[in-house]
Structure 1
């Protein structure tokens, strides 16, 4: 695991002696410029300034879902990257260094690519769950509420349970886990989210693995997929909201949706009949899913943007992934989370 370097000021909780050593072994000069900013310079004088991003663990799903600000370019530090995970990062243009010595740096005429280093041994007692209990199915529902309405972090447990559709005990467990993991400041009467960008990354990853498929209510096919754009009143009166790439197209006008994802508390029979949606046993272009949450106020006809973002990443479609990155940079709610 990383040994933290205590001599880099505000980076002391983010910087790794192993990572610095690995970079210096490659002939790079490493300078810490400011909080989370590092300048790397080659022997020939070629230099690049990176924004440091630290993740203790990167899975294949997270390598696909993880979002970094576009400027400055990001340099990922992590404990270990398997080759399939590293390949996903390289495909997305994300540079990295791990504690084992696997490194990828590419800019201008510079290319440093070290692969195949083995996973380092983790000393006993150093592993941490990092709030793992909050990322089960029920916990993800609570997290969705907290990400969608950050003010809900201060709500009583009972109200959070009603909003997220889980038990009171689950809410308490999730709040305790998030607090211990540093994702939530809990000072009695004051609770608020912290490290929102990392929390959104982890929630999106876990959503694609644990929650996404469990929400399915039915698959349908529509000959004309554009019907929903003129059906706002019908959707709201039926308790149905638009998510997925259709919802994303209302945020990002560059997106032309090829499918429609609807969230409802049950199959909206009247809506299905009125718009002639035919059941599709082998998958269709209209996906109806369970709307498990209750909003704290009046509902929009589209689901909260954290769920739209997660839907795009869970699709596995590189085109939707690209639009997911775009709306994360453009949507006000997602930008607020990233600044938390």
Structure 2
């Protein structure tokens, strides 16, 4: 049996997948591993490149693609005891990425491990600071969200608790949350999720309005998502979180000035703040409507028998 199965989701990743696959092939680890490509309709040279490194290429239609479905579909076809999820545009930084990502599984209570994602300098200047100092710190002392662009899970745990393929229907305004929801679920079952900052990959997306909406949709449009998935956006300790938000933005602005990112200061930075504020208040409005709807349902005597004790 293979020790590790590495699943890479692809669609038109021809510009980046070669470097990622080469970095995987250089990994120094005393375990066997296989590479499985889950492609959702590439029309460039992605699959031609992939075939040079693996014969395990699975295809799904773009119409059928969702992030949780692709993860589950790929995992169903694995032979490994450990399942690694790596984005095609996230090349490992060094030859020990895989070792560090998988070294914690001697503990049977560990369900998942995820690594550090660092930015490609200059590609998305606003989020360089966020990635380096907030989202993926160099230690595990702060709150870090489980992230499937660079993660490993135990297949036996996945056999019992799969990624929720209902996520796109439950949270239609949210682009990607299947990994955080899975981590939350298994932790509630008593398993451990570990952040390993020594397992490092590059991960950046260009600054654009599309990516802004994608990044900031999560947690804004649903009370359940806000309370359970995104505690930073929760209404709890609202004033404290506003102070934290302002402090982070000040630190980000200082970082931009220090690195002479003047275009980002004039355009990217204010645009990101504008989108955050607008989407937050849209979400707040929707959460208030959701509360009213839930209260109305609970106060309806015809529904009283349907409520749990």
Q: Structure 2 length normalisation: TM-score?
A: 0.24
Larger RCO (CA under 8 A, 6+ residues apart): 2
Which one has a larger percent strand, Structure 1 or Structure 2?
Answer: 1
Look at both structures and tell me which one has the larger radius of gyration over its CA atoms.
1
Which one has a larger percent helix, Structure 1 or Structure 2?
Answer: 2
